[in-house]
Amino acid sequence: MKPSATAYDAVIVGAGPNGLSAAILMQRAGLRTLVLEAKPTIGGGLRSAELTLPGFVHDVCSAIHPLTAGSPFLQQLPLAQFGLQFIEPPVAAAHPFDDRSVALLTRSVEETARHLGPDADTYRHLIDPIVHQWPSLVTSLLGPLQIPKNPFPLAQFGLKALPPVTWLARSFKTEAARGFLAGMAAHSMLPLTSLTTSAIALVLLALGHRQGWPLPVGGAQAIATALAGYYQSIGGEIQTDRPVRTMRDLPTARALLFDLTPRQILPIVGHKLSRLYRWQLNRYRYGLGVFKIDWALSRPIPFTNPELHRAGTVHLGGSMADITASEQAAYAGVHTPRPFVLLAQQSRFDPTRAPAGHHTGWAYCHVPHGSTVDMTQAIEQQVERFAPGFRDLILARHTMNTAQMEHYNPNYVGGDINGGILDLGQLFTRPVWSASPYSLGGGGVYICSSATPPGGGVHGMSGYHAARVALREQFGLDVPVRLYPTG
């Protein structure tokens, strides 16, 4: 299909959550906008499909969405009017141990603390202030580096969040508390000895206590469908099957926003950028990859501890020492036989995911960047470790290595689902060191993907912040959109 000759105020390339969020904000500002999506369906990491057998609906990429529920921008949008419904499992995340004990993240700080036994008071002291101060923290944590009007809550958070989680864990006495903390921090896809891994753990814990870790009814695709439905209801236009490889593939527009990472952007607009800026984008770093499995199951996963049946997400890795070793091995390019596994069991709570009496399972582990090693056996052994007999329930499986993940979503370079490593050097300074990380060197070109602050996750905040910058710089519009804290 040839590009339209019609001029638009803004064109957004990529219909993931950030691209759609940017488009919504610009369309609400009164501009004429267009979203171009290379794939036949919208969503980016928000897609669902029958990957195994008919009737079994699997989330192809993201599955559980605490950041969606915690996003100040997405929570303003009337997405329920466009079919989006969330289910909150009674337990946001569970972490089993080999002695059949379990740590649980629930809405209640008190209940979560009770499961940590002798560390209950330490946990309360750690997390209570963050939970209570979350409305003051959320816009700073989900945006570019800036000094808030009241910097004290952020400073207090930073003292806890900056150190490695292995250092933070020294405050706890029990293996349960340390392993629980390690499982949260491992979402960072960094060695647990890295700075800022505590931040990831604390944010996920706070979100669990503030609004849980919900899952969308019918699959992750429902979030993208609702975003697109709302965007089109206010006059926005979406065109699918429209890959953009060069500037010639784009219609005329005053502002171009790319929901892409530097690897995909450079071939398109690199010639418009300064030599220094191109050099900086070429140095952008991508992190660990993932190996993912989806299962069609004859029955629910038979965890030995019944508390795990109440959890939407289960962290399978055991002790902090085990998880630390697993994540360090992947970072060093080694495939461990006992990887840390992130597992979701959506069909326990959402009956639309599988035929009656049947279930689905979703899991992945971290692997070296670009790995094509099959980790099926290693992942299934970790599930069997805490749910003996699991393999007997498998009707079919679907796997994706890092190359297949990248082919499915080119933003997942080398299988990196965060769109770039989230270490201290790229946490707030992504994709480059700049006072305006969303502006690609001027000229009306912007980046609105997870390669900008605040990084990976389904929150739409990268798109929101990029659109605000583009509206101000290209159209002289300082859109008075208030970010309401979630409660």
d(Cα 172, Cα 177) in Å, to the nearest integer? 6
CB atoms within 10 A of CB 2: 7
Q: The pTM is what?
A: 0.95
Contact 282, 262 (CB under 8 A): yes
Instruction: Compute the residue count for the chain.
Output: 487
Residue recorded with tokens 């969405």: 65
d(Cα 399, Cα 456) in Å, to the nearest integer? 22
Residue 96: strand pairing partners: 102
Contact 409, 328 (CB under 8 A): no
Helix (H) / strand (E) containing 54 = none
Contact 192, 327 (CB under 8 A): yes
Contact 136, 146 (CB under 8 A): no
Homologous superfamily in CATH for domain 8-49+216-283+422-475? FAD/NAD(P)-binding domain (3.50.50.60)
DSSP-derived letter for residue 2 is P
Residue 173: strand pairing partners: none
Going by their DSSP bridges, the two strands 215-216 and 237-239 should be labelled as unpaired
**Domain 67-71+84-214+287-408, CATH 3.90.660 — does that match?**
yes
The structural domains of the chain, with segments of one domain joined by +, span 8-49+216-283+422-475, 67-71+84-214+287-408
Predicted confidence pLDDT, tens digits, the chain (487 residues): 334 445 899 999 999 999 999 999 999 999 999 999 999 999 999 999 999 999 999 999 999 999 999 999 999 999 999 999 999 999 999 999 999 999 999 999 999 999 999 999 999 999 999 999 999 999 899 999 887 778 888 999 999 999 999 999 999 999 999 999 999 999 999 999 999 999 999 999 999 999 999 999 999 999 999 999 999 999 999 999 999 999 999 999 999 999 999 999 999 999 989 899 999 999 999 999 999 999 999 999 999 999 999 999 999 999 999 999 999 999 999 999 999 999 999 999 999 999 999 999 999 999 999 999 999 999 999 999 999 999 999 999 999 999 999 999 999 999 999 999 999 989 888 999 888 899 998 789 999 999 999 999 999 999 999 999 999 999 999 876 455 443 3
Helix (H) / strand (E) containing 27 = helix 17-28
User: What secondary structure does DSSP assign to 278-323, as a single string?
Assistant: HHHHHT-----EEEEEEEEESS----SSGGGGGEEEEEE--SHHHH
CA distances from 354 to 30, 58, 126 (A): 42, 9, 39
Q: Can the peptide bond before residue 454 be classed as cis, meaning omega within 30 degrees of 0?
A: yes
